[in-house]
Structure 1
Amino acid sequence: MSDFKEAVKKRRSIYTISSDTTIKDKEIQEILEFALMHVPSAFNSQSTRIALLLGEHHAKFWNIVKDTIKKMVPQDAFKKTEEKIDSCFACGYGTILFFEDQTVVKGLQEQFAAYAENFPKWSEHTAGMHQFTVWTMLEDAGLGATLQHYNPIIDEAVYKEWNIDRNWVLKAQMPFGLKKAEAEPKEFLPIEKRLKIFK
């Protein structure tokens, strides 16, 4: 239990990453496979889908993000965004794309009509648990990561570039790489404002 607690505690948003890695590509794949196999989902729906982008695919993804944003914002605003993307995300070793398969969600809505309105929310819960699990395992392997949300503006380009099933809805992007610096100290709200115990 103590190792798990320490891993959860150490998992932070790391914005200073490099294109190096502490583990082999196969081990990164195994982390993703572990999450897909063992993270829970409502009704055992297993609706989460993942794409791992390494090498030129990782670079291409962040170029897509920049090209998309460049068309939407003034040049001076884009320059700041471009600098952040290049220095915090594109400079990493790889990017993990998290999706939720809407075919699964809609199928469950039809099969269990009484719970229909809940399945999209439960799908989001599943997505979050997968993201947290992968993030924590990457941290435990010595890698830093952040969770980004450039969807939905990049969705169409992602579908086309990697021939992704359009029933897979992009939920988040996780650039990762070797940590060049640790996260800043974190402030915590008083626990008594966040936890109530009745016994």
Structure 2
Amino acid sequence: METKFIELSKQRRTIYNLGRNVKLSTGELTKLIQESIKQAPTSFNNQTQRAVILFGDAHEKLWDIVIDRLKQEVPDEAAFAKTTAKVNAFKAAFGTILFYTETKTVKQFEENFPLYAANFQDWSEQSQGGAQQAVWTSLAENGIGANLQHYNPLIDDEVRAAFNIPGSWKLRAEMDFGSIESPADAKDYMADDDRFLVFK
């Protein structure tokens, strides 16, 4: 039995301590991310996933937007200082991927396939999960760490304006990535008997 995929999946961990000591070029990373998303499955092959890949100043600009937006929400200076430190850790990474869903495509398939209309929103979210896992695992295979954040919808309008994002794209997640400066902690798993049913 081949287990290469399982071993790669074990490498795909949430890494918070990220840096910029990345050996791949931005061009190589862009190609890796794009190809990973292209090969991820979608319902009816409707390809609802979209991505914005940020490097350099654009990457830092995103996390500045997050900090500025959170300042409006965090109740006091002490709490905001902790929030800023957390976001600055994401900013210290090499780059960020913004994962979007093209809502026009979802709506089009709802209209074209009314029997399944109630499912296309859920299926688009499943496609997002597949794309995000594919990218994350591909990065891990290349020794690059990542973590997944969800500051949407809080930052949606500011990010849309900053990067000229189409109005029909809905932000679903933000993945910062970079060199692994310290590994993830050990991971616990629930008992298989509580998680799986097998019938023969």
Instruction: Specify the TM-score bucket, using the shorter chain as the normaliser.
Output: over 0.9
Q: Supply the distance in 2 between the matched residues of 1:2 and 1:115 (Cα, whole angstroms).
A: 35
- Root-mean-square deviation (CA, aligned residues, Å) is 0.9
Give the secondary-structure state (helix, strand or coil) at the position aligned to 2:173. Answer: strand
Q: Supply the distance in 2 between the matched residues of 1:81 and 1:105 (Cα, whole angstroms).
A: 35
C-alpha contact 2:36 2:138 (8 A) present in aligned 1:
no
The CA deviation string for residues 30-58 of structure 1, in whole angstroms up to 9 with x for no partner, is: 11221232111001010000000000000
Give the secondary-structure state (helix, strand or coil) at the position aligned to 1:146. Answer: strand
Deviation of 1:4 after TM superposition, in Å, equals 1.7
Unaligned runs of 5+ in 2: none
Say which of 57, 80, 83 aligns to 2:82: 80
Q: Which amino acid aligns with 2:71?
A: K
C-alpha contact 1:20 1:92 (8 A) present in aligned 2:
no
Q: Which amino acid aligns with 1:78?
A: F
TM-score under structure 2 length normalisation? 0.97
Q: Supply the distance in 1 between the matched residues of 2:4 and 2:93 (Cα, whole angstroms).
A: 26
- 1:106 matched residue in structure 2: 107
Q: Which amino acid aligns with 2:62?
A: F
TM-score under structure 1 length normalisation? 0.97
Which structure 2 residues correspond to residues 1-199 of structure 1 after superposition, within 5 A?
1-74=2-75, 75-87=77-89, 89-199=90-200
Q: Supply the distance in 2 between the matched residues of 1:93 and 1:125 (Cα, whole angstroms).
A: 27
Unaligned runs of 5+ in 1: none
Q: Supply the distance in 1 between the matched residues of 2:21 and 2:53 (Cα, whole angstroms).
A: 16
Runs of 4+ deviating beyond 4 Å: none
Q: Supply the distance in 1 between the matched residues of 2:20 and 2:87 (Cα, whole angstroms).
A: 14
The CA deviation string for residues 38-92 of structure 1, in whole angstroms up to 9 with x for no partner, is: 11100101000000000000000000000000011122211111011112x0000
Q: Supply the distance in 2 between the matched residues of 1:110 and 1:166 (Cα, whole angstroms).
A: 20
Q: Which amino acid aligns with 1:9?
A: K
Q: Supply the distance in 1 between the matched residues of 2:80 and 2:111 (Cα, whole angstroms).
A: 44
C-alpha contact 1:22 1:143 (8 A) present in aligned 2:
no
Give the secondary-structure state (helix, strand or coil) at the position aligned to 2:5. Answer: helix
Deviation of 1:2 after TM superposition, in Å, equals 2.7
The CA deviation string for residues 146-182 of structure 1, in whole angstroms up to 9 with x for no partner, is: 0000000100011101100010000000001000011
Give the secondary-structure state (helix, strand or coil) at the position aligned to 2:47. Answer: coil
Q: Which amino acid aligns with 2:151?
A: Y
Q: Supply the distance in 2 between the matched residues of 1:53 and 1:33 (Cα, whole angstroms).
A: 13
Q: Supply the distance in 2 between the matched residues of 1:197 and 1:29 (Cα, whole angstroms).
A: 40
The CA deviation string for residues 116-155 of structure 1, in whole angstroms up to 9 with x for no partner, is: 1100000000001000000010011111100000000100
C-alpha contact 2:37 2:134 (8 A) present in aligned 1:
no
Aligned residues: 198
Q: Supply the distance in 2 between the matched residues of 1:60 and 1:26 (Cα, whole angstroms).
A: 20
Deviation of 1:20 after TM superposition, in Å, equals 2.1
C-alpha contact 1:22 1:142 (8 A) present in aligned 2:
no
C-alpha contact 2:99 2:173 (8 A) present in aligned 1:
yes
